């Protein structure tokens, strides 16, 4: 049996995987801050891995819609745990802070970092945002969120 993602009837979804890889190589699908980069320039930057700040269990897609809050605004849980694993905490923090802008508008990033108890780290945030953009399963996410509100 061939390995790979399968549809409801067990058929191999080769086109799905190939389309996803093609989308990652299209700068127009990336966040506007990455669109001026060529694919080779983006891959070159992604190869310059920063040192690990702190290794933790990471969500892998720590955007606002995947975070559940109580009525009074306290954290309640996370959903969509398919990319859960260990990584530098900035792999999640970079995306979580970025996501506050797409989902709520500018001005929330520092509050999230303050609440987490960490100072901004522009180098790691830039790196992990680029890495997320290059590997995102949903590269159109930036555009959809930005125009949603």
* Residue 146: exposure state from Cβ atoms within 10 A (0-12, 13-18, ≥19): middle
38-52 tens-digit pLDDT? 888 999 999 999 999
Q: What is the mean pLDDT of residues 59-67?
A: 91
101-113 tens-digit pLDDT? 989 999 999 999 9
How far is the C-alpha of 127 from the C-alpha of 124, rounded, in Å? 5
Q: Is residue 143 over pLDDT 80?
A: no
CB 48 within 8 A of CB 127: yes
Q: Where are the domains of the chain?
A: 14-146
Instruction: Considering only residues 34 and 113, tell me which one the structure prediction assigns the higher pLDDT.
Output: 113
**C-alpha to C-alpha distances, 137 to 20, 64, 92, 140, nearest whole angstrom:** 7, 16, 15, 9
Model-level pTM?
0.72
Is 53 one of the annotated active-site residues of the chain? no
Going by pLDDT thresholds of 50, 70 and 90, the confidence category of residue 129 is very high
How far is the C-alpha of 26 from the C-alpha of 18, rounded, in Å? 13
Sign of the C-alpha dihedral computed for residues 118, 67, 63 and 22 taken in this order: positive
| Annotation: CATH topology of 14-146 | Aminoglycoside 3'-phosphotransferase; Chain: A, domain 2 (3.90.1200)
Catalytic residue, chosen from 53, 61, 92, 133, is 61
């Amino acid at each position: 049996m061939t390995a790979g993602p399968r549809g409801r009837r067990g058929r191999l979804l080769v086109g799905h995987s190939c389309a996803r890889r093609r989308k990652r190589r299209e700068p127009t699908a990336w966040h506007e801050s990455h669109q001026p980069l060529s694919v080779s320039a983006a891959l070159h930057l992604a190869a310059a891995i920063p040192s690990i700040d702190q290794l933790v269990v990471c969500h892998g897609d720590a955007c606002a819609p995947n975070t559940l809050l109580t009525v009074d605004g306290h954290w309640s849980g996370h959903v969509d745990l398919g990319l859960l694993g260990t990584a530098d905490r900035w792999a999640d923090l970079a995306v979580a802070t970025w996501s506050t802008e797409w989902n709520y508008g500018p001005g929330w990033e520092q509050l999230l970092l303050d609440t987490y108890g960490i100072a901004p780290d522009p180098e790691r945030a830039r790196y992990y945002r680029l890495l997320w953009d290059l590997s995102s399963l949903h590269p159109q996410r930036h555009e959809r969120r930005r125009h949603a509100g």
